[in-house]
Amino acid sequence: MMASSYNAKDEDGHHPGSVGSGGPGAVKSKKPDNTAFKQQRLPAWQPILTAGTVLPAFFMIGLIFIPIGIGLLVTSNNIKEFEFEVRTIDYTGVDMFSPCFNCSQNYSWNSSSACTCSVPFTLDQPFESNVFMYYGLSNFYQNHRRYVKSRDDSQLNGDKSSLLNPSKECEPYRTSDKKSIAPCGAIANSLFNDTLELFYIHPNGSRIAIHLMKTGIAWWTDKHVKFRNPGGNHNNLSIVFQETSKPVNWHKPVYELDPSDPENNGFINEDFIVWMRTAALPTFRKLYRIIQKKKVNMTPTLPPGNYSLEVTYNYPVRSFDGRKRMILSTISWMGGKNPFLGIAYITVGSVCFFLGVVLLIIHHKYGNRNNNADIPN
């Protein structure tokens, strides 16, 4: 290693702010002042890369990253996950033999009556601890620039002036029936509104409903900071929103999203908050419900056996060739199932270790030759 430093005081030149030889009336020079900062003479540390420093660094990175990657990959693979995919049971209803085929063919945003379908499935292994239930969409581009901008954060934060006069970014979902739309924008207008219910089919043939928790699925900062109802969360929301109109594709106004729970109604409804956090990729999943493990007994949260997913089909996706699915998953200390991080660590560690071996061979083969060339005859 070599470190080089400079001292501006040891060099000759004009001092900062000094006047040139032309006198007070001379034109000021555009030349930077002769200072260490402006003339780039500050003390600098310039490392010299040698085999004694580079090779240990490569080997250390490899020996550290590879075990970490293996641990992350094993942890991710231990997370149990069950997903309805189009190859098994088509929740979208594209295939003619799918339980939801009639709903997908006949339902549209303008449909007044709901369509229901039942999708059976089987769990081969039990799900321990808390189980997280997601809905997934494919070919839905929430990352489109105009779609992402089509919202009014001031309105969602409870600002009364924005409630009656939303941002122009919400066009063409800003007004309806000469009233401002609440919540406005394309994101809110396309809110996912399928209703999913889960039933366990007991061996004796009876159906046992699985309790699904609809709160605790949104980020704390979104729930308590970014989203607020106008005038507070405990006011009569039907009066607060009486001068507004519901989004075009909604079947009910925002104050009826969950009228039984004032802490989960209006702009602070957690299903609505989760949807408003847009996804980066066209194929994504969003948290829908949580199945909590019972603390009374030692039975698994979801025992192996036959189940039935009851779907109230409200969200058409055939117009954009989309797909819908439901995912059941557990989590670990690192979150949900995601093998990418472990694979990335293993890849980087392996590449560094391989480069260390290659450079060691090169140094061992050619290092002495270079040293001998430096010795004079």
pLDDT of residue 27: 67
User: 290 pLDDT exceeds 90?
Assistant: yes
pLDDT grade for 294, boundaries at 50, 70 and 90: confident
- pLDDT tens per residue across span 210-259: 999 999 999 999 999 999 999 765 678 889 998 999 999 998 999 999 99
Contact predicate 83/341, CB 8 Å: no
One-letter amino acid of 206: S
Average pLDDT, the chain: 84
Specify the length of the chain in residues. 377
Taking only the tens place, the pLDDT of each residue in 26-84 is 667 788 888 988 888 888 888 888 888 889 999 999 999 999 999 999 888 877 665 54
User: Would you list the domain boundaries of the chain?
Assistant: 85-331
Q: Which residues of 49-70 are buried (b: 16+ CB within 10 A; e: fewer)?
A: eeeeeebeebbebbeebbeebe
Q: What pLDDT, on a 0 to 100 scale, did the predictor assign at position 373? A: 53
First to last CA, the chain: 28
Residue 344 has pLDDT above 70, yes or no: yes
pLDDT class for 140, splitting at 50, 70, 90?
very high
Q: Which two tokens stand for residue 293?
A: 């493990």
CA 194 to chain centre: 21
pLDDT at position 97: 80
CA–CA distance, 50 with 164 (Å, rounded to integer): 68
User: For residue 23, is it left (φ>0), alpha (ψ between -120 and 50) or beta?
Assistant: left
What is the Cα–Cα distance from 193 to 269, expressed in whole angstroms? Answer: 13
Question: 311: pLDDT confidence band, cut at 50, 70 and 90?
Answer: very high
Residue 85 and residue 29: Cα distance in Å, rounded? 72
DSSP state of 127: B
Residue 7's pLDDT is what?
A: 47
Using the structure block, give the residue that is written with the tokens 């889960």.
Answer: 198
> What confidence score (pLDDT) does residue 369 get?
64
Neighbours of 36 (CB within 10 A): 14
